[in-house]
């Protein structure tokens, strides 16, 4: 029986994770002309993009953490301290990240995931459109994926 030839393991293993990532990248590159064309270009790897806003006492008032890849900006985190919300800092952080992504990295679009209680309305007001909805992820919460064309 074929199944007796294999052993399943569940431990976290960074070395195997990296091997798996490399092999998946090779498989995807072989299967996709688009990914094949990306290899060796400036858009081939994820490049971190961070934008910070500091208050008058040099404390973190907000920030955006993301990366660019394949002509896309991916916003991973955007947060503004509650004491500073409503002052436009979130919009300024997002606008700065989008400007850097377009001007310095040749990005043409942006994406973000957010939960229903976080900021889907914030992103919609800034031209982002909902392209995906995952209800009950995690249970009782809805996750939204939003995108925006930048250039």
Query: Which distant-in-sequence residues (6+ apart) come within 8 Å of 47 by Cβ?
Result: 67, 68, 69, 105
pTM, two decimal places: 0.88
The pair of structure tokens assigned to 44 is 């081939």
Whether the per-residue pLDDT at 1 is higher than 70: the answer is no
Distance CA 107, CA 75 (A): 13
Cβ 83 vs Cβ 132: under 8 Å: no
Express each pLDDT in 59-107 by its tens digit.
Answer: 999 999 999 999 999 999 999 999 999 999 999 999 999 999 999 999 9
pLDDT band at 4 (very low <50, low <70, confident <90, very high): confident
Cβ 64 vs Cβ 51: under 8 Å: yes
Distance CA 106, CA 102 (A): 5
Distance CA 77, CA 75 (A): 6
- The candidate with the shortest Cα–Cα distance to 48, out of 74, 22, 25, is 74
Query: Which distant-in-sequence residues (6+ apart) come within 8 Å of 129 by Cβ?
Result: 146, 147, 148
């Amino acid at each position: 029986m074929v199944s007796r030839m294999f052993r399943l393991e569940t431990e976290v293993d960074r070395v195997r994770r990296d091997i798996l990532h490399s092999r998946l990248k090779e498989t995807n590159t072989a299967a996709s002309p688009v990914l094949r064309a990306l290899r060796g270009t400036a858009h081939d790897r994820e490049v971190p993009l961070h934008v910070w806003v500091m208050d008058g006492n040099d404390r973190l008032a907000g920030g955006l953490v993301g990366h660019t890849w394949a002509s896309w900006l991916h916003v991973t985190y955007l947060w503004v301290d509650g004491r500073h919300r409503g002052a436009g800092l979130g919009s300024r952080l997002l606008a700065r990240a989008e400007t850097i992504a377009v001007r310095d990295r040749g990005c043409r679009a942006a994406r973000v995931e957010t939960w229903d209680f976080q900021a889907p309305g914030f992103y919609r007001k800034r031209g982002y459109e909902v392209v995906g909805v995952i209800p009950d992820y995690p249970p009782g919460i809805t996750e939204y994926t939003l995108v925006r064309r930048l250039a």
